[in-house]
Chain A
């Protein structure tokens, strides 16, 4: 079981309140991603749940039990660190065994669990090596192995993929998702990468300056961002935001349209502009179009679009998918 409830949890470092009182419930078995720009408090929040930082107020409950002041080791949580935090002087086997050794698990059971974890994570051939002799991806898997054998109530991941190169990152993303499918254990995952958030999460928590901006499934956040910050943060490339005269036509302070919800044409459309840069990715083409009065917008076209710098284009936004925000930046119905 792993239902985690944060009730008015807050954190201050001296005078500075990095997390104002915050409520959040994480259901058992959920894959929750905390996402936000660096310095938004997402790692601090994770460390509060882990017990590596004291809360300054409020309550943390794990499966209904008050764990606010419990030491990290008593919370039944396992953590995978950004740096992996493997013990460099121990072999892979000993690294994975360490939490069980601390818990006094009998040797036989230890071995059984290590072998199972190693098999699941493709580490069987590396059990006697030291972390220093492993590649980044392998180290990552050892860190996960060390977490798995504890059979924790929940896994905590602190930006686990940020030290891997791009290709490995995609692979590990899949592995972690698969792991979640298999174990059905609660996972809390911190990242600044919205792609990781979108692809892995059951539920995304968008944070800014210690405040939860929105909580929801990836598609909810994509379809109905609650405010301008979420609108700009979720989705790649970013949503185009247009203010001023054009927004007033829709009686909004700001209107937003995603690059993929724009229709391109060379002869007619709602907005007229000139192509500044075109990026051909093969599958898609991204055009950066200067709209004179409304600034530059990004538009996605299909891979075969052959438009170049200086070409004149017309853009028609899909009215169904147009987002409207009021003067305070909040979503309008």
Chain B
């Protein structure tokens, strides 16, 4: 039985938690507010919080002058493409490891995880040169492949932990009931695994969307996603706070909303099922 807490205690706890939460969230809120300020208000001293003439001008400028659309589209194609590609390769592997659990399964999973330990910087040179000699630098295709490979261990791990939760008994029951491998996967496994597959998909789209080593180093303009778009504001345009904020909001909002919806599953996914 949970203990009854007095309203006074609860109020204090609530206030403290909200203060902390708002401090953590404040930079995002501030960026959001600033994105609607005329530039002169954005840099005003002392700063103005909400009492200004709200304007869409910054958004307008960013979209019209800086080609937001193409960056956004590149981000979508690269993150979704790499994730879907990874899922196609990872689902059978995770399925096999989860339901035909051998002695070496754990070693294999650990090895896959260890490939993530290789620092991207360590292999930047050969990847870059390989891409260059194949004419793939600054192509969405190359980024899709690279990000897919980078996230593959995570995808396999996540799916594995979700699949492991499906009791083997049920698959055996299906086998006894006369299902072959295809119908077992189609009628029994997939419907039960859909929540897991969905959250794996979402998390990896988020990771790919925000990846900012390969996306910055392997693109120049054609395939450049939003990370590159934002990095372009580092200077001196960064001093136009209104435009910087509008660009930032447009780069983060789509993925943040996805993140909010999938945050419950995030923990399990990101900890490889070690924390539930």
Which chain A residues have a beta carbon within 8 Å of chain B's beta carbons?
Answer: 50, 52, 71-73, 77-79, 81-83, 85-89, 98-99, 102-103, 146, 150
Give the residues from 167 to 184 in chain B that come closer than 8 angstroms, CB to CB, to chain A: 167, 169-170, 172-180, 183
CA gap between A78 and B187 in the complex, in Å: 19
The minimal Cβ–Cβ distance linking B156 to chain A, given in whole angstroms, is 24
Cβ-based interface call for B216 (8 A) = no
The A-B contact count (CB < 8 A) is 59
**Count of interface residues, chain B, beta-carbon cutoff 8 Å:** 17
Indicate whether B188 reaches chain A with its CB closer than 8 angstroms: yes
Q: Is B191 an interface residue (CB 8 A)?
A: yes
B176-A102 in contact (CB<8A)? no
Closest chain-B Cβ to A256's Cβ sits at a distance in Å of: 39
B interface residue numbers (CB < 8 A to A): 167, 169-170, 172-180, 183, 187-188, 191-192
Q: Are A83 and B167 in contact (CB under 8 A)?
A: yes
Q: A79-B173, A81-B173, A102-B183 are in contact. Are A87 and B178 (CB under 8 A)?
A: no
Knowing A87-B188, A88-B192 are in contact, say whether A77-B174 is a contact too (CB < 8 A).
Answer: no
**CB-contact partner of B177 in A52, A82, A102, under 8 A:** A102
Given the interface pairs A82-B169, A83-B167, the reply to whether A77 lies near B176 with Cβ below 8 Å is yes
Q: In the complex, are the beta carbons of B176 and A72 less than 8 A apart?
A: yes
Q: Would you call A79 and B187 a contact (CB within 8 A)?
A: no
- What is the bound-complex CA distance between A103 and B174, given in angstroms? 12
User: How far apart are B174's CB and chain A's nearest CB, in angstroms?
Assistant: 7
| A-chain residues with CB within 8 Å of residue B183 when the two chains form the complex | 102
Q: In the bound complex, what is the Cα–Cα distance between A205 and B260 (angstroms)?
A: 57
Which residue of chain B has its CB nearest to the CB of A97? Answer: B177
Contact present for A99 and B178 (CB under 8 Å): yes
Known contacts A98-B187, A102-B183; decide if A85 and B173 are in contact (CB<8 Å).
yes
Residues from chain B with a CB closer than 8 A to the CB of A102 are 177-179, 183
CA distance A83 to B172 in the complex (A): 12
B187 and chain A: residue at smallest CB distance = A98
Task: Using CB atoms, name the residue of chain A closest to B194.
Answer: A89
Which chain A positions have C-beta within 8 A of B170? 85-88
**In the complex the two chains form, what is the Cα distance from A82 to B177 in whole Å?**
16
Chain B residues within an 8 Å CB radius of A79: 172-173, 176
Instruction: State the CA gap A82–B180 with chains docked (Å).
Output: 22
Determine if B176 and A73 form an interchain contact, defined as CB atoms under 8 angstroms apart: yes
Q: Which of B169, B179, B180 contacts A85 (CB 8 A)?
A: B169
Q: Closest CB of chain A to B20's CB: distance in Å?
A: 37
**Closest residue of B by beta carbon distance from A80:** B173
Q: How many Å lie between the Cα of A162 and that of B32 in the bound state? A: 58
Distance between B131 CB and nearest chain A CB, rounded to angstroms: 44
A50-B172, A78-B176, A85-B172 known, 7 other contacts, Cβ within 8 Å: A50-B176, A71-B175, A81-B172, A85-B167, A87-B174, A89-B192, A99-B177
Distance of A141 from chain B, by nearest CB (Å): 15
CA distance A262 to B183 in the complex (A): 60
Report the Cα distance A102→B177, complex, angstroms: 7
26 contacts between A and B (CB under 8 A): A52-B172, A72-B172, A72-B176, A73-B177, A73-B178, A73-B179, A77-B176, A78-B176, A78-B177, A79-B173, A79-B176, A81-B169, A81-B172, A83-B167, A83-B169, A85-B170, A87-B188, A87-B192, A89-B191, A98-B174, A98-B179, A98-B187, A99-B178, A102-B178, A102-B179, A102-B183
Chain A residues with CB under 8 Å of B176's CB are: 50, 52, 72-73, 77-79, 99
